[in-house]
Amino acid sequence: MREVLKKITPPAIRQPIRRAIVASRDQFFPRNPWWSKLEKIRNCNAFPELTEIARRACKEIREAYVPILKKNGVDSKEFFWGSIKDADAEMLYQLVLDRKPKVAYQIGTFVGYSALVIADALRANGGGILLAVDPEVPHRTFVNPVDVAREMATARGLDKYIRFERGWHCVVSGDYISMGLKRRIPIVGAQVLDTVRPQGVDLAFIDGDHSTASTLADFLLLRDYLNVNGIAVFHDAQSWPTVAQALFIMWHDNFYYRSNTARYFAIDVCAGNDGLGILQRIRDESRPTLCLTVVNKSGQPIPNVKIEIPSANLTIINGKDGKMYVEDEFPSGVVIKASCHGYRDYAGKLDKGTEGDFAENTIVLSDA
């Protein structure tokens, strides 16, 4: 239908027709029942006041796109109607200016307008890097939209602030994508995020597959890399009910009946054009883990060893691989005891403490 519309109608009246179709649709379907729910639960002010600097910068970037869109036979007004729009782009720019992220992460690049907005603000801040992940599949008249993003980044001197990564961030659920593309393009999100694990992510922009399932999955993979005070910005939270629904579900999620998202994150929304949502990390949720491996003098694992940590009043029998795991904080020097039939009893001190992270120690038992 879209191709027929493009063939029989000139660009000047194409957009009004499309808007009329949307208006007609809205008479029969609710606009977004989840958006009002998000407005009620918002509990922080994560969105800053817009400045003229952000408005001017985004206008300049938009104007720079016109020649390359024209070269590809795309009407710029029609294009920007279907891309991130003025108010949302300007707010994204302002967020980067105010928060000064060292590492930014983007899910869904298309032709790179939002990526250039982020990168331009990074340059204005004096540094930072954006990792932009996209499967680079054909989309809206472009064989590979990200090629346009690369060309624009180079033309504007922003290529050193963006690292384009080809692949799916996590899951692939869109039914508009062929099975061949789903199966043959790799899922790279975890590997890309691991490259910045020491620094973590300060700002993420989620604008990929807008299904409820994908939006949930996109955030759940990302959240473990998001620094305290870091933010995940969700695009189209008002115009796409599925994105707002995903935000609402995440906010009310419980972790093993012990805690929930609200313990670790704050939430805010901004109507803008298509609506932005933010989840801001307010507390670190990582739990330190101690791993103890029991082996004999030959280095072979010993199973069924009783391990005691008296200071924590803890007794555990290790597994077949000789390992045991305890999710708690243990400083170096803590007394560890171990006993097993056929071996001498062991008493020693922890060589390496957890220090808020993962610590692995080895206990060597001698034959009885």
| Three state DSSP letters for 194-211 | HCCCCCCEEEEEECCCCC
pLDDT of residue 69: 86
How many C-beta atoms lie closer than 10 Å to residue 364's C-beta? 16
- Residue 308 pLDDT exceeds 70: yes
pLDDT of residue 295: 97
Mean pLDDT of 333-349: 96
- Residue 15 pLDDT exceeds 90: no
* Rg of the Cα atoms in the chain: 26
pLDDT band at 3; cut points 50, 70, 90: very low
Torsion of CA 129, 134, 138, 143, to 10 degrees: 30
pLDDT of residue 1: 42
Residue count (the chain): 368
The pLDDT tens digits for 16-41 are 555 554 554 455 445 799 999 999 99
pLDDT band at 363; cut points 50, 70, 90: very high
pLDDT of residue 143: 84
Provide the CATH topology of domain 33-170+178-281: Rossmann fold (3.40.50)
Mean pLDDT of 1-14: 50
The pLDDT tens digits for 246-267 are 999 999 988 766 678 888 999 9
pLDDT of residue 73: 82
- Residue 280 pLDDT exceeds 90: yes
- C-alpha triplet 37, 41, 45: angle, nearest 5°: 125
CA–CA separation, 141 and 101 (whole Å): 33
CA–CA separation, 126 and 109 (whole Å): 23
Mean pLDDT of 189-209: 96
pLDDT of residue 68: 86
User: Residue 313: left (phi > 0), alpha (psi -120 to 50), or beta?
Assistant: left
The chain-wide mean pLDDT, for the chain, equals 89
Mean pLDDT of 293-322: 96
pLDDT of residue 138: 84
CA–CA separation, 157 and 149 (whole Å): 12
In which order are the strands placed within the sheet that holds 358-364?
A: 323-327, 289-295, 358-364
pLDDT of residue 37: 96
Q: Of the given ranges (20-29, 145-154, 256-265, 281-290), which has the lowest mean pLDDT?
A: 20-29
pLDDT band at 220; cut points 50, 70, 90: very high
Report whether 121 contacts 138 (CB < 8 A).
Answer: no
CATH number among 2.60.220.30, 2.60.40.420, 2.60.40.1120, 3.40.50.300, domain 289-364: 2.60.40.1120
Report whether 121 contacts 96 (CB < 8 A).
Answer: yes
Of 130, 129, 140, 88, nearest to 107 by C-alpha is: 130
Mean pLDDT of 317-332: 94
CA–CA separation, 270 and 278 (whole Å): 9
Residue ranges per domain, the chain? 33-170+178-281, 289-364
